[in-house]
């Protein structure tokens, strides 16, 4: 299913012209219009899902093999030195377009980008409390 007011549904399904680097029956992979680095691309499922929470398992299962294939191709063709996969869910995590997408970001020595977080230093007790919360203890 696509969503009539979703720009990524339109891009994924060819209703708006875009720079597609790969297409199959489930996905369109397009160049990001404001790339972090040369070759920054987005894997877009053709079927609408708001985010990872919403993504059907059968679609999800196809994404990492596709990411691996395209990361390899982008790295070879663009002579990248490394690679980031980035995937944001919900506004607080930096999601700006509410149609699931996986960022493919080739990295280059001294490319000036910083795709990292600020490490924190919880105590052992805090880490244990987090573990227990996740495990439902
Ligand atoms: P996110 O912040 O994870 O939701 O990422 C959204 C990404 O989509 C950003 O990197 C934008 O540059 C990119 N983007 C938004 N609109 C378009 C568009 N029409 N074509 C290509 N990329 C887009
Ligand atoms: Zn959509």
pLDDT higher than 90, residue 137: no
- Among protein residues, the one with the nearest Cα to ligand 1's atom 17 is 33
CA–centroid distance, 34 to ligand 1, in Å, is 7
Tokens 């982008």 correspond to what residue? 74
**Which residues lie below 8 Å from residue 85, measured CB to CB, with a gap of 6+?**
67, 71, 102, 103, 104, 105
Please tell me the predicted confidence (pLDDT) of residue 82: 98
Residue 11 Cα to ligand 2 midpoint, Å, equals: 9
Ligand 1, atom 8, lies closest to the CA of 32
Give the residue numbers annotated as catalytic, written as ranges: 101
Residue-wise pLDDT for 12-23, tens only, equals: 999 999 999 999
Express each pLDDT in 17-44 by its tens digit: 999 999 999 999 999 999 999 999 999 9
Reduce the DSSP state of residue 107 to 3 states and report it.
Answer: strand
To test ligand 1's pocket by mutation, which of 30, 42, 99 has the most ligand atoms within 8 angstroms of CB? Answer: 42
Query: Whose atoms come closest to the Cα of 115: which ligand?
Result: 1
Range 106-127 average pLDDT: 96
- Give the span between the Cα atoms of 131 and 112, in whole angstroms: 35
User: Would the CB of 33 count as within 6 Å of ligand 1?
Assistant: yes
Ligand approaching nearest to the C-alpha of 4: 2
């Amino acid at each position: 299913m696509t969503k009539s007011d979703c720009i990524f549904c339109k891009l994924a399904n060819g209703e708006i012209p875009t720079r597609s680097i790969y297409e199959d029956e489930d996905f369109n992979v397009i160049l990001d219009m404001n790339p972090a680095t040369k070759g920054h691309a987005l894997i877009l499922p053709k079927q609408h899902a708001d985010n990872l929470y919403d993504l059907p398992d059968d679609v999800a299962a196809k994404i990492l093999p596709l990411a691996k294939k395209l990361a390899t191709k982008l790295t070879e063709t663009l002579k990248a030195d490394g690679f980031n996969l980035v995937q944001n869910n919900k506004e607080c995590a930096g999601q700006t377009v509410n149609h699931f997408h996986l960022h493919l970001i080739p990295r280059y020595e001294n490319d000036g980008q910083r795709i990292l977080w600020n490490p924190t230093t919880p105590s052992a007790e805090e880490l244990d409390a987090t573990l227990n919360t996740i495990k439902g203890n």
